[in-house]
């Protein structure tokens, strides 16, 4: 019972985050927030797995560091897109434009 809660809840949260990521493609900010939600759920799964296997938490700290770097990179892309185009709609952003 408890093992299914350990593995079932993070998988459900991951699928819910993935569904939000796929369904909301209008704004860049909503996509970045859903990606961060997915990364936090993956961190939760990794933390549970490492605790059940009695491994050290060094790898989870490395994963958390890389996810923070990914979040900072996404925010910098969001800021540069808002400065150049005025909003975060994907319809107004043309990748072939110089």
Distance CA 43, CA 59 (A): 10
Give the pLDDT score at 93. Answer: 62
Mind listing the pLDDT tens digit for each residue in 24-62?
A: 778 888 888 899 999 999 898 888 888 888 887 788 888
Domain ranges (residues) in the chain: 2-85
Mind listing the pLDDT tens digit for each residue in 56-95?
A: 778 888 898 999 999 999 889 888 888 887 777 766 666 6
Question: Is the dihedral angle over the CA atoms 81, 85, 87, 91 positive or is it negative?
Answer: negative
Give the pLDDT score at 3. Answer: 67
Residue 96 has pLDDT above 80, yes or no: no
CATH class for the region spanning 2-85: mainly alpha
Give the pLDDT score at 94. Answer: 62
Q: Yes or no: say if 78 and 28 are a contact pair by the CB < 8 Å rule.
A: yes
Output 92 or 16, whichever has higher pLDDT. 16
Distance CA 27, CA 89 (A): 5
Distance CA 40, CA 59 (A): 14
The position carrying tokens 């072939």 is 96
Q: Yes or no: say if 30 and 17 are a contact pair by the CB < 8 Å rule.
A: no
């Amino acid at each position: 019972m408890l093992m299914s809660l350990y593995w079932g809840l993070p998988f459900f949260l991951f699928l819910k985050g993935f569904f939000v990521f796929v369904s909301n493609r209008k704004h860049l900010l909503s996509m970045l927030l859903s990606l961060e939600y997915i990364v936090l759920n993956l961190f939760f799964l990794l933390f549970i797995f490492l605790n059940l296997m009695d491994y050290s938490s060094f790898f989870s700290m490395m994963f958390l560091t890389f996810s923070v770097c990914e979040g900072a990179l996404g925010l910098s892309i969001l800021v540069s897109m808002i400065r150049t185009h005025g909003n975060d709609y994907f319809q107004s952003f043309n990748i072939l434009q110089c």
